[in-house]
Amino acid sequence: MLSQNISGTLYDDEAPITGAKIMNVTSKSITSTDANGNFDIYAKINDTLIFSSLFHHTKQLVVNESHLDGTQVFELKKILNELDEVDLQARIASKEMDEKETTKTIKQQFKTDVEKNPHLYRRPNANSGPIDILEIGRRIKKLFKRKTPKESEAVAFDITSEDLDTLFKKDKFFTDTFLVLDLNITKDYKHLFFAYCETKEISSRLLRPDNKIYLIDKFLEYSKDFRDILIESQKQ
């Protein structure tokens, strides 16, 4: 009588939550909601349940006797602020060049270059010919280019397992809780999962904050494949 399944439905303030994870941390069992937000999970009194969804605040519940009676309804709150961070990235406005300030800077650089390379700017004697105006022009152009703003995009590379390990240590969203509750990857298999992701050649561009939603999709896809591989390996 003190041990049975909890049946319930998980909602937010708008609709049932599909694919949310419910974990009994006491018994180490886990399940997920169906298309209508319904779920069943083994539990007994005083067990601790954790409800988790990608875009909702995590909810923790200690099971009491009333939770084992009939179908329960649970609610998760949406993470509105974190959704804004993912979807509403502002464009970075390009800064126009200040002509007066740039001219002042170039003049100072020119003066410094003259002091460092005086032989390039003076006529040694009357027989050495005219000053090399073309050379002076080239050097001034080089100094000007050095100060001219130029946008350049960092070269993308494939994310390594070390990159993922660093991400999950420093990022506020990608944490061990996300790994366990949303990807169903236990900490014992954490680094093996990172190594598996490395073989998928994920572009480093997905590490940018405005690409977070795409990185989440990759993790969801690869975690499912990884769990399937683990299940098959345990059968052998």
Same domain, 56 and 113: no
Residue carrying the six token digits 């769990």:
227
| Residue 220: inside a domain | yes
Residue pair 148/140 in contact by the 8 Å Cβ criterion: no
What is the residue-averaged pLDDT of the chain? 78
Same domain, 127 and 176: no
Asked if residue 118 belongs to a domain, the reply is yes
Indicate if the pLDDT at residue 115 is higher than 60. yes
Domain count, the chain: 3
Structure-model confidence comparison of residues 186 and 130, the more confident one? 186
Is residue 94 included in any domain, yes or no?
no
Q: Which of 147, 181, 204 is where one domain is finished?
A: 147
| Residue 106 or 148, more confident | 106
- Residue 16 has what DSSP assignment? B
Write out the two tokens for 67.
């939770």
User: What pLDDT score was predicted for residue 23?
Assistant: 84
Task: Name the residue with tokens 């502002």.
Answer: 90
Describe the crossing of helices 133-147 and 99-116 by its angle, rounded to 10 degrees.
130
**HSE value, Cβ hemisphere, 13 Å, CA-based, for 199:** 9
More confident residue, 86 or 103: 103
**Residue 91, in any domain of the structure:** no
Query: Which residues of 54-203 form beta strands (DSSP E)?
Result: 56-62, 71-75
Beta strands in 48-117 (DSSP E): 48-53, 56-62, 71-75
How many whole angstroms separate alpha carbon 63 and alpha carbon 213?
A: 33
> Roughly how many angstroms between the first and final C-alpha of the chain, as a whole number?
38
Per-residue pLDDT averaged across 95-110, rounded? Answer: 66
Question: Distance between CA atoms of 138 and 108, rounded to whole angstroms?
Answer: 16
In a shared domain, residues 184 and 211: yes
Shared-domain flag, residues 43 and 110: no
Q: Same domain, yes or no, for 26 and 66?
A: yes
The residue type at 173: F
DSSP letter at 54 equals T
Q: Is residue 137 part of a domain?
A: yes
Give the residue from 46, 78, 110 where a domain finishes: 78
- Quote the domain boundaries for residue 46: 3-78
Report which listed range, 46-60, 141-155, 159-173, 219-233, is most confident. 159-173
84: pLDDT confidence band, cut at 50, 70 and 90?
very low
CA distance 50 to 176: 14
168, 143: one domain: no
**Mean local confidence (pLDDT), 138-158:** 60
Question: Which position has the token pair 């419910």?
Answer: 22
* Predicted pLDDT at 121: 56
Confidence of residue 151 (pLDDT cuts 50, 70, 90): very low
* Band of pLDDT at residue 11, cut at 50, 70 and 90: very high
**One domain, residues 107 and 139:** yes
Say whether both 71 and 8 belong to one domain. Answer: yes
Same domain membership, residue 220 and residue 167: yes
**Mean pLDDT value across residues 188-212:** 88
pLDDT at 219: 93
Letter for the amino acid at 90?
A
Res. 120 pLDDT band, cuts 50 70 90: low
In a domain, 122, yes or no: yes
Say if residue 43 is in the same domain as residue 73.
yes
Q: Flag whether 231 is in a domain.
A: yes
Of 28, 48, 78, the position where a domain reaches its end is 78
Tell me, what's the pLDDT at 24?
86
Residues 90, 207: Cα–Cα separation, whole Å: 17
